[in-house]
Structure 1
Amino acid sequence: MRADRLLSILMLLQSRGQLSARELAAELAVSERTIYRDIDALSASGVPVYAETGRDGGYGLLDSYRTSLTGLTDGEVRALFMLSVPGPLTQLGVSQELRAALHKLEAALPKSRRQDEEWVRRRFHLDATWWHQRETPVPFLRVVHQAVWTDRKLRIVHRQPVGVTIEQVVDAYALVAKAGSWYLVCAYGGRMRVHNVADLLDVEVTGDGFERDLRFSPAAFWADWCAAREADHARYAVTVRVAPHFVLYLPWYFGHSIHQRIAEAAPPDEDGRITLTLTFESLEAARDRLLDLGNGVEVIEPIALRLSIADYAKQISALYADDLVATSAVDTSPNTSNIVSAT
């Protein structure tokens, strides 16, 4: 790791000019004492590092110690600097490598172009997380990553939806990051399969490799798999009646694609309510989603879902019945005991 750090210091000094030990330590997440030792090591290896004392002092490189990178347009350079380190790459443990690559790029640019990183940093930030997303531990991610990178077979243990635990030896073809989750694409029994890495109960890299099918494209496979999954899961149609005050909130719960359904809906009834058809994976999934919407959405059909939601509402009302009674018993009339009449 020290060699990587020395290279990072070299790239930082070459790209940003003079930096203090404190600034270097903050950038590389080490102590200032470590930076002092690293600067000594760079000097001993022949790198022309100089030090300036005083309030505005720091370390720098002689101007003669420069390289240049040509052939990139302004737009290409700025596009490269738009690469930040999103959560999935941090989980894989390659965030330091990406930062080092960007430092090398910055250092190799002509002096006139080195302001591009700061230009992008002041105008762009990439946040790859969802709203209200909770970080899920993925203890076997780096093991899976190692197998995918080296074309090794994996022994995995996972639980089927019916609760049965299964152990399999699979060919680790690809890793896919989607919506904050990691998925293993693997071959088993002549078919490609997908597992959420966070759901794997145990993983071990075996000593055996596999022959990768060079025709396999992770991007093409994933697009087809997602399309098939959505088609399979979005088959439970529900007709609902939406209250006028709640229409504006539908995109928050169902995404912006709901706008098209609203636009194509029949005219509102006399109370201003519109009728829509929504699709879910199952009755249970529909009930869980629609219960969150309170009186904003009323289920018309299927009748089984309507009765199920009514039953859940009844159970919830019974659970909190005592609180409702206590609330209604509170005297909410104005307190007039302290009012003095003036005559």
Structure 2
Amino acid sequence: MSAGRLLSVLLLLQSRGRMSARGIAEELGVSVRTAYRDLARLQDAGVPVYAEPGRGGGYQLLDGYRTRLTGMSEGEARALLFAWLPGPAADLGLAPEVTAARLKLLAALPTGLREEAMRTAAVFHLDAPGWYREPEQAPYLPLFVDAVLTQRAVDVRYRRWRAPQEVDRRLRPYGLVLKSGVWYLVAAVKDRIATYRVSQVLDAVLSDERFDRPADFDLGAYWTSYLDDFLARRYTGTATIRLSPRGRRRLPDNVPPELVRAVDSTATAVGDDGWIAAVIPTESTAHACGELLRLGVDVEVVAPAELRQAMADTVGVLARAYGSARAVQTTGSPTGEIE
């Protein structure tokens, strides 16, 4: 039996008022039987908890009773920033601390402010990952949290996009960034600062080396600069395209926001049918071809010639493939199955 959990039950009743044993169990992640046992132990300890029977009943504290045991542990203080962000907190391994810190924070507030805070929390929910993909698994994320806070170096094996793909590095973590549901580690490696996708870490071990994080390092400023540099390195060319009205509406769901902004800023009408011409940045011929094909017949590449040809070649391959399939289905077996 955890004394910390008993305190959590007490603070939960203090901040929420009447609650059922099932509600307490769900909030604290324990069984209903454990919740009943904890309530009984609070009563045995002299805490004025009483049960209200019947429909809509539950457990509550005697009116006017309040505990002053609201001091936070170090872990709970760390978790306070994430008190209403359960998803990222769970990723960081701080879910239990977040629950305890939130209860203590609410219990410490005057009744009016506590009710307002609970109303606000009830109407906002953060779902960080983007559409059309599963959240990335980052099993070493809690280890990096520890390394950042204790300023300890980490030995990692990392999978990167260029050869050699798997490399060993000793990193001195400066901070963690969550972008579109993906966690990134900002760390010093040798004489430079680099960014690592946490899900691509294959192995990680805390070392005995301690380091001092530069006092003038600003994580937010670094990340903004990193993004600007990333986009400058990513887009090295341009293309002129034509878009139908439907293609322009579909654009935000199919291409990065940089391309949408480029279309908005360069769009010009090219006829009375609503089609527009625009200039967009491109990463490479193959990458641009893959992105623009998502728009199907609602886009046409005007220039450069190599991208236009790549689009035509890809469409030709698809046409031949689907033409062959249609022919087999027409002349093949009675079931219409492709053999």
Query: Do Structure 1 and Structure 2 share a fold, with TM-score over 0.5?
Result: yes
Match of 2:200 in 1: 199
- Where does structure 2 lack aligned partners over 5 or more consecutive residues? 69-79, 332-339
CA distance in 1, matches of 2:272, 2:64: 80
8 Å contact kept, 1:49–1:62: yes
Q: What is the CA distance between 1:275 and its match in structure 2?
A: 1.0
Match of 2:239 in 1: 238
8 Å contact kept, 2:241–2:278: yes
Match of 1:318 in 2: 320
Match of 1:26 in 2: 26
* TM-aligned CA distance change 1:260 to 1:159, over 3 Å: closer
Q: What is the CA distance between 1:181 and its match in structure 2?
A: 0.7
Between 242-251 and 132-141, the greater mean CA deviation after superposition: 242-251
CA distance in 1, matches of 2:55, 2:264: 63
8 Å contact kept, 2:154–2:172: yes
* TM-aligned CA distance change 1:287 to 1:3, over 3 Å: farther
Q: Give the alignment's TM-score, normalised by structure 2.
A: 0.84
The aligned amino acid for 2:323 is A
CA distance in 2, matches of 1:167, 1:291: 38
More RCO (CA 8 Å, sep 6+) = 1
The aligned amino acid for 1:290 is L
State the secondary structure of the residue aligned to 1:166: strand
CA distance in 2, matches of 1:244, 1:59: 60
Q: What is the CA distance between 1:121 and its match in structure 2?
A: 4.6
The aligned amino acid for 1:16 is R
CA distance in 1, matches of 2:63, 2:274: 73
Match of 1:156 in 2: 156
Residues 50-91 of structure 1: per-residue CA shift (max 9 Å, x gap): 3344444432222232269xxxxxxxxxxx999632532221
Match of 1:89 in 2: 89
Q: What is the CA distance between 1:218 and its match in structure 2?
A: 1.0
CA distance in 2, matches of 1:244, 1:328: 36
Match of 2:144 in 1: 144
Superposition pairs of residues 1-343 of structure 1, within 5 angstroms: 2-66=2-66, 84-121=84-121, 123-164=123-164, 165-254=166-255, 255=257, 258=260, 261-262=263-264, 264-269=266-271, 271-325=273-327
Residues 220-269 of structure 1: per-residue CA shift (max 9 Å, x gap): 11111111111111222111111244222223334497367336423323
The aligned amino acid for 2:189 is Y
State the secondary structure of the residue aligned to 1:24: helix
CA distance in 1, matches of 2:274, 2:33: 70
Q: What is the CA distance between 1:4 and its match in structure 2?
A: 3.3
Between 108-117 and 256-265, the greater mean CA deviation after superposition: 256-265
State the secondary structure of the residue aligned to 1:288: helix
CA distance in 1, matches of 2:260, 2:51: 61
8 Å contact kept, 1:300–1:306: yes
* TM-aligned CA distance change 1:271 to 1:120, over 3 Å: closer
RMSD: 2.7
- Where does structure 1 lack aligned partners over 5 or more consecutive residues? 69-79, 330-343
Q: Give the alignment's TM-score, normalised by structure 1.
A: 0.83
* TM-aligned CA distance change 1:101 to 1:82, over 3 Å: closer
Match of 2:75 in 1: none
8 Å contact kept, 1:67–1:108: no
Residues 117-145 of structure 1: per-residue CA shift (max 9 Å, x gap): 44325543333232223112112111222
Q: What is the CA distance between 1:186 and its match in structure 2?
A: 0.9
* TM-aligned CA distance change 1:55 to 1:293, over 3 Å: closer
The aligned amino acid for 1:125 is H
Q: What is the CA distance between 1:210 and its match in structure 2?
A: 1.2
The aligned amino acid for 2:85 is V
CA distance in 2, matches of 1:129, 1:160: 22
Q: What is the CA distance between 1:29 and its match in structure 2?
A: 2.2
Q: What is the CA distance between 1:31 and its match in structure 2?
A: 1.1
Q: What is the CA distance between 1:42 and its match in structure 2?
A: 2.4
* TM-aligned CA distance change 1:86 to 1:309, over 3 Å: farther
* TM-aligned CA distance change 1:129 to 1:84, over 3 Å: farther
The aligned amino acid for 1:280 is T
State the secondary structure of the residue aligned to 2:188: strand
8 Å contact kept, 2:129–2:182: no
